[in-house]
Every structure is written in C-alpha cells, then in structure tokens.
Amino acid sequence: MQQLQDKMKKNIKIIFLLVFSIFLIQFITAATYCCEKTLTNPAWCQNVNNQALCNSTLSVSPAFCEATLYCRTGTCINQEEGTCMPSTERACTSGGGYWSEKPKNELPQCKEGCCVLGDSTRFVTQVACNRFASFYGLEINFQPSVNTELACFENANLNVKGACVFTENYVKDCELLTKGECLDKEEISTLSGIDFHENYLCSAPELETVCAKSQNTKCYNDKVYFVDTCGNLANVYDSTKVNDIAGYWTRIKEPTCSTINNSGNKESPSCGDCDFYAGSACGIKRRGQSVNFGNNICRDLDCTDYTGPYSGTFDYPHHGESWCATDEKDGGTDMSPGASSFVLTCYNGEVNLPTECDPTRQKICKEEVINNTGGFLIAGCKVNKWQDCVFQNTSEDCLDINLRDCEWKSGSSWNGYYFSSDGETTGMLNAETDSSPEGACVPKYQPGFLRTATDANPNCVSASAVCYVKMEKKTFTGDTTNWICTQPKLTNLWWKGNNCSCLDANWNVSMNKMCNELGDCGLKKNYIGIFGYKTDVYKIIKGNAS
C-alpha cells in the first residue's frame, strides 16, 4: 500500500513538471523577439511577441533586448545642441549624434556647469551655454566649478540687491550688495555666517545687525538717499518716513514722495526723488537752501541765471533745452553779411559755448518746439534749402517747408515791384512794375559768404535788375540831353507801360530791397552794423539799347 502511494505521488510530480514546462515554453515563445526598431509607432529596442511587428531592415533577435548588443545603452552627444542623453548606438547615429559606450559622467564634453544668462541661470554643458548666449545676444558666462543644479539656481538674479549679512570679530555686520557681490564675498573672504537677504535693508530689525536708521543722506545715481548707521544706502530720501521702521527702514521700496507742481522735486526740502531729465540732480545744498534732514538736495539744473538771447516760452532756458541765436549786432533774425547762426544749450545749470552752424549759411540753426513739455525748445544745424526759391511763382509752392526754406513777398513789399522771368532781361530775373503784382519767392535765410572773402557773392548775380524804358526827346531843338519817358496811349502793349516808374527816385531803393532778400547783396550793413567799405550810395548804370 505504501509503495502504491509513493508511485502515485511520483506520477503527479511528473505530470506537474510536464504541464509547467509546456506553459514555460509557451510563455517564452510569446515574447522572444527584440526589435531594434518597431514597424508601427516606431520605437527603438522593444520586446514584442510577433516578429512581424519589427522593422525587418534592422536587427531582430529571438531574445530579450536587454541581452542583445545592438540594444546596449551608451551616451548620445548632440554636438550642435550641447546635450548628452542615454541612447542606443543606432538611435543616436541615425539622428546625427555622436555615440559613446561610456556613461555621461565619464565624458568631458558632457560635463555640466552653471550658465549665467542675465538674471537667469541654466545647468548645462559649455556648448549649450555658448549657444544660449549667442541666441540671446549675451556674453558667455560659464562656471564649470558650480557642479550641482541647486548651486546654479542660487546664482540666478545676481543683480538683485539686498542685505548681505556676515559675522566679523564676533559682530553681526551687514552691507547692502547685489546677490552676486555677496556670493563673491563668501568665496574670497574669511568672514563667517555670510547670508543674503533679497530686497532687505541692513537696518531691518529682524536681521539683528549692528546697522540702524539715521538722519544722514548721500547722493547716488543723481537721487538723494537716506543712509543707515553703517553707511549703507537705505531708500530714497523722504523726510516723512525718517522714523518709519517697519514700512521704510526694513525693505527696499520705490520712492513715493513728490512735491506738487514741482517737476523733478527741484530744491525740495522733503523729497529726494530727483529726475535728471526733468532738470534736477542730487547735490550738496547751497547757501540759503534748506532741507529737513542731511545736507543733500535735488538741485535745480535749469539755467536760471542766464540773461542772453532766448526764444523759448519759459522765463529762462531749462536743463536740456537748446535754441538758436545769431551774432547780428541788433540780435535780429535777418542775416546780414558776415552773420552766422549758432546753437546754444542749457546743460546742468550752465549754457554751453555756442556751436556755429556755417559761416556761409548753407546750414542754419532751426528750432522745434516739443509741445508736450510746455514749449520745450530743441535746436540744431539744418541744411538751408534756399537754392530754388526764386523759381517759384506761387505762394503755395514757395512756402512748401518740406522742399525749401523760402518766404513769399507780395508786390507791395517793394512799392509795387516784383520778380519776373517773362520779361526782357540780361540775367535770371527782371524787376518790373505791375498794378496788381502777385509777389515773389525769396530765401527765408539769406545765404552768405565768408567774412574774409574778397570776391562778390555769386548768388547776387540773379539780383541784378534791368529795366527797359523807351525815351523820347523833350523838344525838337536838337537838345539830346533832355529826354522823357514815352507814355503809351494804350495799356498792355509791347513795353507793358514802358516802366516809366524806373526813373523815379524810389526805384533804386526798391531794387536794393529785392537784392537784399537774395543774400549778401546790394547796399547792406554787415553783422556789426557797418556799410560796405566801398560806398554807401546806390549805383545805377544807365545805357542805351538799340
């Protein structure tokens, strides 16, 4: 009986082993293919239960991928991007990468460091850092000694300011520094307990330093600041906050003080929020100036003491304002022979030396008013576009400021005389009379010549005038010295009224005015108020025309 039971147990074991073996064979058969790359939804090194799922152009093995050589993992280096990733050899090289069987930490080109990009950081390789710096237009700042991502993150926002607290000689001291400056102090100094507190002032009570509030001030970046007892900057000077420990002496804050109707808080005794562009900057208070605390004030940068020529709308030139002036004796705007135009500028409370535009006035000073600043003047030397003024026949064309710098003079400006180009002439222009003249276009800024010039101004050639008059003998006595102007019986004939008015005493005066408008021409006083050296008498040349 015992032998029968033993025999039955042995048969049961054989049956169990046989069933288990069949199951194991089926299991292995169901998952024995390693695709180097699958055919559908392509993926590298995948175990599958059907060989048909593999890409037949690549390696396929009846084994697990972990046991194949083609699926062994190394490091794929993207030499362009500067990245290092775990990868198989074929997956790496098919994408243009360089593959190494070594792990990432054994490859020098895969060593990561801290890449500082402005106020941000990235823990990347040197190649990747170079690429980021080039993309953002920044200088390359790669720190290979920073070997953890956490330490690199601490290097972010290096320019932010705060309280750098440290212990020296058993005393807890503090300096207001940037984060980067505080980290440098930690690396190069022998101080202990160095800790940075972003946006905190050294006078903050919770930092428990030896620094406290004070009533002293100093200048920094053109503004007035309170300083603590250690000499560190606090916030912009506001006399109303001198005792506000929690709200003012603890954290860095933007200034909120201002003086009503006082741009830039000029000469304000209570507010140090100066504005250089509005005409104020920090400076030591002058005699007679008062300030609530300290010795600094927002000094007025306007040229309040200037009394020279100024064409602006203010009582005196403001800081940054520029305007035009001439060296005319009477200070007028008309250009006399030898006169020039200049640009004057008010800067930091002083009027700079004049800048001459051009002694020949091919460039002249022009002003522009910036209305949104209450009449602020900006001046500069601009090209004088006078050359084609005399060719314009209408006031509309004459006054086109986009094309030329001209003025329109009505015929009445010269006792009825005006410029014309359709009459008989020996030059470019002819001066005639008309009962209803339209007018003439002349340069707004008359061109000139150098004070040392000895030749006549060539621009004056066009100002020569010829007036044709038909004369007849007064009597038939043969006296040829008495001639009179022939008066036409009809108007609009061939001599247009015969120009008898050219014989009037005022004709030469009118013609001289026309000459003066074209430049340094005709009888004219120079820039110091003296007539030309040859004569102060108008010269009229008479002749006969056949």
Q: Could you give the percent of the chain with pLDDT greater than 90?
A: 39
Residue type, 53: L
Q: Which of 118-132, 219-233, 526-540 has the lowest mean pLDDT?
A: 526-540
Write out the DSSP string of 269-281. Answer: SSB----GGGTEE
Alpha-carbon distance values, 18 to 26, 288, 438 (Å)? 13, 114, 127
Most confident of 1-5, 71-75, 391-395: 71-75
Give residue 457's pLDDT band: very low, low, confident or very high (50, 70, 90).
low
Phi and psi angles of residue 278, each rounded to the nearest 5 degrees, phi first: -90, 0
Residue 530 has pLDDT above 50, yes or no: yes
List the structure tokens of 125. Answer: 């390789």
Q: What is the average pLDDT across 124-134?
A: 92
Whether 250 contacts 205, CB under 8 Å: yes
Measured distance CA(472)–CA(467) in Å, rounded: 16
The listed range with the strongest mean pLDDT (148-152, 193-197, 433-437) is: 193-197
Angle at 53 between CA 52 and CA 57, to 5 degrees: 80
- Residue 156 above 70 pLDDT? yes
Other beta carbons less than 10 A from residue 485's beta carbon: 16
Which helix H or strand E contains 161, and what residues bound it?
strand 161-168
Q: Model confidence over 29-79: pLDDT tens digits?
A: 455 799 999 988 889 999 998 899 999 899 999 999 988 989 999 999 998
Contact yes or no for 236/224 (Cβ under 8 A): yes
pLDDT in tens, 189-229: 788 889 999 999 999 999 999 999 999 999 999 999 999 99
For the chain, give every domain's residue range. Answer: 25-59, 72-107, 161-300, 322-383, 389-517
Other beta carbons less than 10 A from residue 462's beta carbon: 16
Q: Which residues lie closer than 8 Å to 277 by C-beta, 6 or more apart?
A: 320
pLDDT surpassing 60 at residue 445: yes
**What proportion of the chain, given as a percentage, has pLDDT over 70?**
77
Is the pLDDT reported for residue 139 higher than 80? yes
In this structure, what token pair is assigned to residue 372?
A: 């949104």
pTM more than 0.75: no
**pLDDT at residue 458, rounded to an integer:** 62
Contact 296, 217 (CB under 8 A): yes
Confidence at residue 339, expressed as pLDDT on a 0 to 100 scale = 86
- Residue 253 has φ and ψ, to the nearest 5°, of -135, 155
pLDDT digits (tens, 9 = 90+) for 223-273: 999 999 999 999 999 999 999 999 999 999 999 997 777 888 999 999 999
Q: For position 284, what pLDDT does the model report? A: 94
pLDDT in tens, 475-516: 655 555 677 777 665 554 444 556 676 777 677 777 777 778
What number is the average pLDDT over the span 149-165? 85
Confidence of residue 158 (pLDDT cuts 50, 70, 90): confident
What band does 183 get if pLDDT is binned at 50, 70 and 90?
confident
Sequence-ordered list of residues with C-beta below 8 angstroms from that of 57, at least 6 positions apart, any chain: none
pLDDT digits (tens, 9 = 90+) for 76-106: 999 888 999 999 988 899 888 999 999 988 9
Break the chain down into helix, strand, coil percent, rounded to 5: 25, 25, 50
| pLDDT: which is higher, 59 or 25 | 59
